[in-house]
Structure 1
Amino acid sequence: MSMESPQASVLVVDRDPFVTRSIMAFLDERGYEVEWVDDGEKAYNRLDDRTFDVLITDLNAPRINGMRLMAVAKDRNPEITVVLITEEPDVEHATEAMRQGAYDFQTKPLNLGRLEAVIQQGLGRQRLVLEQHELRRRLDEQYGLGSLVGKSRQMVKVYEAVRQIAPSRSTVLIQGETGTGKDLIAQAIHTNSTRRDAPFVKLNCASIPEALVESELFGHVAGAFTGANKARAGRFEVADTGTLFLDEVGELSLGLQAKLLRVLESQQFERLGDSRTISVDVRLIAATNRPLEKMVEEGHFRSDLYYRLRVVTIDMPALRARREDIPRLVDHFYRIACDSNGKQLEGITRNAIDVLLRYDWPGNVRELKNIIEGMVVMARNGSVLDVAGIPEHIRRNTIPEVREIRIPTGATMSEVERIVIEETMKVCGYNKEKCAKVLGIGLRTLYRKLKEFDVR
């Protein structure tokens, strides 16, 4: 026998020394770690002392019988493989044992080859369950709420919305600028829903030529169009019982919007070139960086689809609207980049983070992630990331650091306004666009004020 992992541990419980010696010799020869006790009370104590992979016990073990021992073993290790053995065939006990979690029920004299086959099957099932648990842990780590970085008021509101929305069946519309993390929120909703073990299927409507989007969504039969040499399932079919995430839904043509609306209302559609109706059970999450409400007013997006999509809406904040999250995001992306690139660095300076805090991040979280990864890749092992490692275009376009401005006692409001504008212009290097942005006023208003106060 070839054991794939550290040798499996087996506890044998039987008062018949002939039976136990034969089991122990057989399994020991094949690489198992085997222990034997002759009654249920001793087995109970051993199950308290350590974890076993397999329990082989006589149904009528003295002091504590096999059924009670199985319950104890399952409480200690829910995935343990339990084999009950008995002197006489007993259909009633066998059925009850299997119902309560026994993996097999065998009658003496034992067929040791069959016993080992059952043990191997049970261990295989254990490995599969453990792999599923690990996969779920990784999904939770990568896409659960714990994976979402940020403690700002805006992000706390998003997290609370995900918690409320995830268990429902409702369609969700996620709105926000490019790079704000709409896809992560969609995955988090799926991972925290009852559909988490079913498929999560993505389609970016802007990344596929318009002529192919319908086929991608609904599939096609062979010969449906030029180049369709064989039948192909669409994303709706692949996502059956799970979640379909349509990114950039605002890019769909009006014709496709009508077909999407039909699927949302009936959960039915036909493949291209086929008259057979396909029924599915799919939750839809849509995302957009475009103003759908305005597109509805302009006739570019169907109002009925818009209202069908926005059953529940999540608005993703731009990174510049939650600057307090930038240090946490920097640390998060720094660690990921060091791990994935095998870098041993000594951290990032406060000055560097201050510069990153004063940049407007038009590409949002995605841009920050890429910048940090680039800085890590270019840094030498053992070094510290500093301002010098930040790309020049970011350093050039940062908002100036806030400085204290002294206002004389008794100054009028007009004089206060003039002083603030003068000092801000100095800090901004007399860059009017940057000054207007810092002051939070329009460029035209700034020009008017500069002329009014004769600030040059």
Structure 2
Amino acid sequence: MLHRPRALIVDKDSSETKQLESFLTEKGFEVHWAKDGEQAFNLLDRPAPEAAGVVDGAGPELVITELKAHRVEGMRLLEVAKRRNPEVCVILIADAGSLELATEAMRQGAYDFQLRPLNFTRLLAVVERALSHQQLVNRVSDLTDRLDERLKVPTLTGNSRVMQELSEKIVQIAPTKATVLIYGETGTGKELIAQAIHQLSPRRGERFVKLHCAELSANIIESELFGHEKGAFTGADQQRKGRFELAEQGTLFLDEVSEIAPPVQTKLLRVLQDRQFERVGGNETVKVDVRVIAATNRRLDVLAARGEFREDLYHRLRVIQLEVPPLRERKEDIPLMVETFIRELNREHGRKVTGITRGVADRLMQYDWPGNVRELKNTIEEMVVYAQGKRALEVSDLPIQLRVQRAASGEDLNLTVGMSMQEIERRAIEATLRATGHDKQKAAKILGIGLRTLYRKQKEYGL
């Protein structure tokens, strides 16, 4: 829901402040002005009215404050503002002698800082960037609301055109009864997209049942899908309902549907055509009303052409087909996804990570993410868990394979699956030293480790 954003200016009475207030008002902000620390904290603590669209009284979206304002410490104000609303953009005004403190404020989550004497044109440009940042956050929030506020779908976080188009398709197809086939590489979030479709459909109040078909034999998959009667096979000491019956009136998600054996494909085709089946070992026909969403990381059309998958079943499954792009093809979404993950993981693990440094951002953008969103989230979670204190994640926090994916010369490290972390680290150090002409200071900086640590590692690995 659209709302009028709030801005808080913490500064003494001045013509500059009044000019800034007029500018923000023209930009659509509801502007509040605090002349000292007491007023500032009162305004931060005062819940915004619900009509303003601020959840849980989260306070202003934009704060502009002196680093050392009258009767207030800017760092303290930054901390309180961020605690009240992690998305708030805080811009600090500092003196030249406070440059080090202002830089630390950036690490603690400030959006930017400006030095006195103020260049008002530059300050307004920073404010406009902050406005764009806030509008981006609001657009993502609006998209999340459309996809059901109760659902958290990290793969749908992103401002890239391909993800916006995918989100629109989900919204369009969710209310229908059409069978959906989701194609995407491992880790792209196919199951989460299936959950989003279910949550946005009229079936949201019923069960979302899933079955991962990979590595299950034909007999096991048949029993899991359709259930079995007592005595149907050794060990079947009672009747058991299958996933189709459990999902009655709801949604059944079949992951890696390409791995279903041919005999079971025939029975699945019948269910999709006639909405009925018999349990294993039984004669009673069971009728069901279930929406099927299937997912695969293999091209079913190619498998069908080779005779490895029933072509008629393929067409039944792909009434609607969605393709989830790999993360390497939408890297522009990575910064927003990382921001989202950090916020969620801070809550989950009780951490206070404020963001990532430019060096970390560069390496995340350079990496191709073969494991896609799942790998990205696991990487960020590992870094957040090990992070101590309130700070931004640094290059030294990265797993070694991301710290040095390629040496500066472009030399490939030739990493292979199953290689030990010690061997990966040894190769990374060796390649980096070679690329820097054995400039240890430079190599340590690239690796994100201290010089003493580099010497110790060289000795340990005999480099």
Match of 1:429 in 2: 410
CA distance in 2, matches of 1:432, 1:333: 29
Which residue identity does 2:172 align to in structure 1? Answer: Q
Match of 2:343 among 331, 335, 342: 335
| Contact kept? 2:155, 2:188, Cα under 8 Å | no
| Contact kept? 2:212, 2:256, Cα under 8 Å | yes
Q: How does 1:209-224 map to 2 (within 5 A)?
A: 209-224=217-232
Match of 2:255 among 247, 258, 276: 247
Q: How does 1:10-89 map to 2 (within 5 A)?
A: none
CA distance in 2, matches of 1:258, 1:201: 21
Q: How does 1:302-451 map to 2 (within 5 A)?
A: 302-397=310-405, 428-431=409-412
CA distance in 2, matches of 1:145, 1:341: 19
Cα 1:430–1:206 change in 2 (3 A) is closer
- Matched residues, number: 271
| 1:179 and 2:187 correspond | yes
Match of 1:31 in 2: none
CA distance in 2, matches of 1:161, 1:366: 22
| Contact kept? 2:229, 2:236, Cα under 8 Å | yes
Structure 1, unaligned runs of 5 or more: 1-136, 401-426, 435-456
CA distance in 1, matches of 2:346, 2:327: 23
| Contact kept? 2:160, 2:333, Cα under 8 Å | yes
Q: Which moved more, 1:331-340 or 1:345-354?
A: 345-354
Cα 1:159–1:248 change in 2 (3 A) is same
Q: How does 1:160-179 map to 2 (within 5 A)?
A: 160-179=168-187
Match of 1:273 in 2: 281
| Contact kept? 1:172, 1:284, Cα under 8 Å | yes
Match of 1:192 among 189, 194, 200: 200
Which residue identity does 1:300 align to in structure 2? Answer: E
Which residue identity does 1:429 align to in structure 2? Answer: G
SS of the residue corresponding to residue 148 of structure 2 reads helix
Deviation at 1:141, TM superposition (A): 3.0
| 1:293 and 2:301 correspond | yes
Match of 2:292 among 271, 277, 284: 284
TM-score by structure 1 length? Answer: 0.57
| Contact kept? 1:345, 1:381, Cα under 8 Å | yes
Q: How does 1:67-216 map to 2 (within 5 A)?
A: 140-143=148-151, 148-206=156-214, 208-216=216-224
SS of the residue corresponding to residue 281 of structure 2 reads coil
TM-score by structure 2 length? Answer: 0.56
| Contact kept? 1:337, 1:376, Cα under 8 Å | yes
Structure 2, unaligned runs of 5 or more: 1-144, 416-463
CA distance in 1, matches of 2:242, 2:173: 26
Deviation at 1:433, TM superposition (A): 9.2
| Contact kept? 1:250, 1:301, Cα under 8 Å | yes
Cα 1:254–1:428 change in 2 (3 A) is farther
| Contact kept? 1:145, 1:159, Cα under 8 Å | no
Between the two proteins, what is the percent identity of the paired residues? 53
Cα-Cα RMSD: 2.3
CA distance in 2, matches of 1:230, 1:333: 45
Match of 1:82 in 2: none
Structure with max Cα Rg = 1
